[in-house]
């Protein structure tokens, strides 16, 4: 570093201390100059000096206490700032870790994989899950009509989603019936029998061009996926206000990870008892988690979006 620059930097850093020293030295020198040039009664001046020194010394002592308190307050503010910075750093570290885990979860999703069939992986799985769900919704609606069950669209959606989630089979059918215990047992048995019929499965697979045999259940896929997704959003939502973060912006970044079909399946999941906390905690509404669902994506007989959301919720309404 250049010598002149170094000196200038030294002066900027220590200018207050240097000025105090220079003033003190100047005052001390002025006493000797006054003694030489002026006739001063040193005894009287000493008494006055002692008096003034006592008063001024007390003032300086009080000033020192005030400066000490100011220093302590500054240190406390710096410590609080450092603590807040560490808390924010810890939050963001966990936040980005959760996003990475979500991406890993999605990339590991697969359905229909066999030795002779690569099946479907990643986000495309949700495209086929939604197609399978709609087939189930049609079957449930048809069986409800045959059994004389007057069910709301919400109830039909719940039964269809549980059929998708648990599937049918030796153990799956038992869990399915337990989960639908609030419905008429004969109706539930009829739905299970229809869905578990091999001819129905084969027909649906051909008609809907599914790359796998439908109605075997997706509990292992969807259960883990939605638990982690809920944990991820709740983690941001539960952060204390004194952290000073914009929760919506952080959740918005998370929402950007969800495809249209992921958001659609999330909405379906949230309209059933297993996903009720999405609405109970206000996550769907407050963070606009499904705002990217296009218009007419769902029919009114599936989900009437106009009754669920306030005007301006969806992206296409902007």
Average pLDDT over residues 20-38: 58
Average pLDDT over residues 111-117: 80
pLDDT exceeds 80 at position 289: yes
Mode of pairing for the β-strands spanning 120-121 and 110-111: antiparallel
Q: CA of 12: how far to CAs of 8, 71, 143, in Å?
A: 6, 20, 86
- Residue 290's pLDDT is 97
Q: How many CB atoms lie within 10 A of CB 261?
A: 19
Higher pLDDT, 14 or 83: 83
pLDDT exceeds 70 at position 238: yes
Any alpha helices (H) in the chain, and if so which ranges?
3-37, 42-108, 124-146, 153-166, 172-179, 185-195, 198-207, 219-237, 247-255, 260-270, 277-280, 283-286, 305-308
Choose among 211, 230, 220, 317: nearest CA to 277: 230
Average pLDDT over residues 210-218: 94
- Residue 239's pLDDT is 94
pLDDT exceeds 80 at position 54: no
Comparing 9-13, 105-109, 253-257, 259-263, which segment has the lowest mean pLDDT? 9-13
In sequence order, the β-bridge partners of residue 110 are 121
pLDDT category of residue 295 using cuts at 50, 70 and 90? very high
pLDDT category of residue 84 using cuts at 50, 70 and 90? confident
For all residues of the chain together, what is the average pLDDT? 86
pLDDT exceeds 90 at position 44: no
Higher pLDDT, 162 or 23: 162
Residue 141 is encoded by which pair of tokens? 């609606």
pLDDT exceeds 80 at position 217: yes
pLDDT exceeds 60 at position 167: yes
pLDDT exceeds 60 at position 35: no
Work out the burial of residue 28: count CB atoms within 10 Å of its CB; fewer than 13 is exposed, 13-18 middle, 19 or more buried. Answer: exposed
- How far apart CA 304 and CA 296 sit, in angstroms, is 10
- How far apart CA 74 and CA 68 sit, in angstroms, is 10
**Most confident of the following: 16-25, 40-49, 303-312:** 303-312
Average pLDDT over residues 47-75: 63
% of the chain at pLDDT higher than 70: 75
Stated as kind and residue range, the H or E segment containing 120 is: strand 120-121
Choose among 263, 252, 245, 274: nearest CA to 309: 263
pLDDT category of residue 244 using cuts at 50, 70 and 90? confident
Average pLDDT over residues 274-292: 96
Choose among 144, 124, 162, 125: nearest CA to 301: 144
78-85's contacts with Cβ under 8 Å and 24+ in sequence apart are 84/242, 84/243, 84/244
- Residue 21's pLDDT is 64
Q: What is 178-197 written as a DSSP string?
A: HHTTTS-HHHHHHHHHHHT-
Higher pLDDT, 4 or 45: 4
- How far apart CA 202 and CA 199 sit, in angstroms, is 5
- Residue 15's pLDDT is 67
Give the end-to-end CA distance of the chain in Å, rounded to a whole number. 58
């Amino acid at each position: 570093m250049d010598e002149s620059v170094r000196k200038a930097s030294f002066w900027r850093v220590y200018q207050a201390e240097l000025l105090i020293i220079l003033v003190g030295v100047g005052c001390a020198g002025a006493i000797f100059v006054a003694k030489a040039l002026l006739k001063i009664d040193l005894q009287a001046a000493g008494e006055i000096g002692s008096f003034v020194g006592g008063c001024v010394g007390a003032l300086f002592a009080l000033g020192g206490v005030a400066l000490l308190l100011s220093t302590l307050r500054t240190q406390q503010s710096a410590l609080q700032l450092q603590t807040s910075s560490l808390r924010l750093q810890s939050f963001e570290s966990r936040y980005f870790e959760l996003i990475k885990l979500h991406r890993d979860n999605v990339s590991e999703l697969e359905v229909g994989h066999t030795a002779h069939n690569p099946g479907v992986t990643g986000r495309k799985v949700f495209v086929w899950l939604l197609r399978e769900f709609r087939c189930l919704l049609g079957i449930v609606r048809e069986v409800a009509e045959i059994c004389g069950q007057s069910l709301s669209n919400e109830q039909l959606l719940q039964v269809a989603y549980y059929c998708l989630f648990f599937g049918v089979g030796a153990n799956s059918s038992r869990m399915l019936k337990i989960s639908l215990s609030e419905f008429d047992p004969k109706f539930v048995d009829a739905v299970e029998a229809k869905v578990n019929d091999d001819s129905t499965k084969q027909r649906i697979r051909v008609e809907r061009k599914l790359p796998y045999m439908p109605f075997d259940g997706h509990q292992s896929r969807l259960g883990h996926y939605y638990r982690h997704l809920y944990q991820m959003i709740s983690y941001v939502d539960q952060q204390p206000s004194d952290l000073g973060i914009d929760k919506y912006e952080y959740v918005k970044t998370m929402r950007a990870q969800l495809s249209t079909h992921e958001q659609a399946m999330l909405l379906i999941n949230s309209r059933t008892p297993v996903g009720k906390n999405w609405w109970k905690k206000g996550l769907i509404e407050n963070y606009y988690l499904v705002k990217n669902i296009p218009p007419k994506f769902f029919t009114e007989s599936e989900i009437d979006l106009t009754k669920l959301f306030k005007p301006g919720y969806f992206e296409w309404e902007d």
